[in-house]
Amino acid sequence: MKIVVLGVGLVGRVMVLDLAQEPSFSIRAVDEREEPLRNLPPVVETMRADLRDPDDVAQVLHGVEFAVCAVPGFMGYALLKRVIEARIPAVDISFFPEDPFELNALALSSEVAAIVDCGVAPGLCNILAAEAARQMDSVEAYRCFVGGLPRVRRWPFEYAAVFSPTDVLEEYTRPARIVENSNVVIVPALSGREQIDLPGIGTLEAFNTDGLRTMLKTFPARNMVEKTLRYPGHADLMHVFREAGFLDKEPVQVGGVHVRPFDLAAELLRRHWAMRPGDEDLTVMRVEVDGLKDGRWMGYRYDLLDRFDPQTGTTAMARTTGYTATIVVRMAAEGLFPRPGILPPENLVQYDGFYRRLMEGYRERGITLKGKVLDEPDGA
């Protein structure tokens, strides 16, 4: 199968390397920059292209049977639309802000399946919620706490970006949608701050971000929230940046030049947040699902803690996001998801063997996920 990976950034590169190990796959890696295309295995075909240009996209899709979309969020929707128009099935991790279900009619008419939000969060958290819900008669609440963090805290930001800084800042500016008593409520990003203690990490700060996405339409819980995790103090700093206008998207004139504060902030923070030689990261996530079974309360708790791989130089965020996608790509290549349309991760658990094979794929790659059935609401 000829597979194209569109976008070879921190996560895209990991997916290229993982998929290139599959003898039945032929991999084409595409990026507009030369640097990320260097030092890939000889079996990988590399192409430079502007993935915002329809002609370039048509060229890189020529002869392709499957696509993996891994561009920044602001490019993701338009690119996935062109992939679907080309009648190519896809897995997408670009986490674009638009509603992916708007592409459902196109995917149906093109007779292809497009699996969206196929990372760790969104992605794995959706899958865990759906798997827990399968064991219940009804779902009361869903909570997800997730974050990518540097192993060593460094002042003043105590953060390192393990994916596009632009996408990180979008999390801090885009209003967050949560569900309260079956009603969608819009709250400011960075609101709802609380502290949470997690095994192996200690105390982290959690705050609202717009992470529920497709689950707002597909998941039946009466109450739902997703919160991003950072070291304590980071949210206060980002809140000051936002309120002072540094994350505004309307251009301002400075020295006769019009510039968007958001773009300038993203570029400056890119330098401060860049992983330095010797830096390591970790990905931490807790998913909690409460519901009823046979008239009695029951709950599930899942904890994920993954760390930087020093042998391969692979970040934990790239591992947990990229490997989720590549494991799903393998199942898609085998025809496990025959139904066309937009497929969010939470809908994949309906297919026989999917959850088991995903967990096996994690274990093969050294990703540890611990699940626990709770029999008391307080988690005792």
Domain residue spans in the chain?
A: 2-119+319-364, 124-318+368-374
What is the average pLDDT value for the chain, to the nearest integer? 95
Extract long-range pairs of 364-368: CB within 8 Å, 24+ residues apart.
365/319, 365/323, 366/309, 367/304, 367/306, 367/319, 367/320, 367/323, 368/304, 368/305, 368/306
**Least confident residue range of 139-143, 177-181, 200-204, 304-308:** 200-204
- Domain 124-318+368-374 in the same topology as domain 2-119+319-364: no
For the chain, what is the HEC assignment? CEEEEECCCHHHHHHHHHHCCCCCCEEEEEECCCHHHCCCCCCCEEEECCCCCHHHHHHHHCCCCEEEECCCHHHHHHHHHHHHHCCCCEEECCCCCCCHHHHHHHHHHHCCEEECCCEECCEHHHHHHHHHHCCCCEEEEEEEEEEEEECCCCCCCCCCCCCCHHHHHHHHHCCEEEEECCEEEEECCCCCCEEEEECCCEEEEEEECCCCCCHHHHCCCCEEEEEEEECCCHHHHHHHHHHCCCCCCCCEEECCEEECHHHHHHHHHHHHHCCCCCCCEEEEEEEEEEEEECCEEEEEEEEEEEECECCCCECHHHHHHHHHHHHHHHHHHCCCCCCCEEECHHHHHHCCCHHHHHHHHHHHCCCCEEEEEECCCCCC
pLDDT (0 to 100) of residue 379: 45
pLDDT band at 378 (very low <50, low <70, confident <90, very high): low
pLDDT tens digits along 76-121: 999 999 999 999 999 999 999 999 999 999 999 999 999 999 999 9
Token pair 């803690």 is found at: 305
380 confidence band (pLDDT: 50, 70, 90):
very low
| CATH of region 2-119+319-364, choose from 3.40.5.90, 3.40.50.720, 3.90.79.10, 3.30.70.1560 | 3.40.50.720
pLDDT digits (tens, 9 = 90+) for 309-368: 999 999 999 999 999 999 999 999 999 999 999 999 999 999 999 999 999 999 999 999
Residue 200, pLDDT score: 84
Q: Which CATH class is domain 124-318+368-374?
A: alpha beta
Tell me, what's the pLDDT at 199? Answer: 83
> Is 80 exceeded by the pLDDT of residue 377?
no
According to DSSP, the β-strands at 176-180 and 202-208 are unpaired
The pLDDT tens digits of the residues spanning 203-231 come to 999 999 999 999 999 999 999 999 999 99
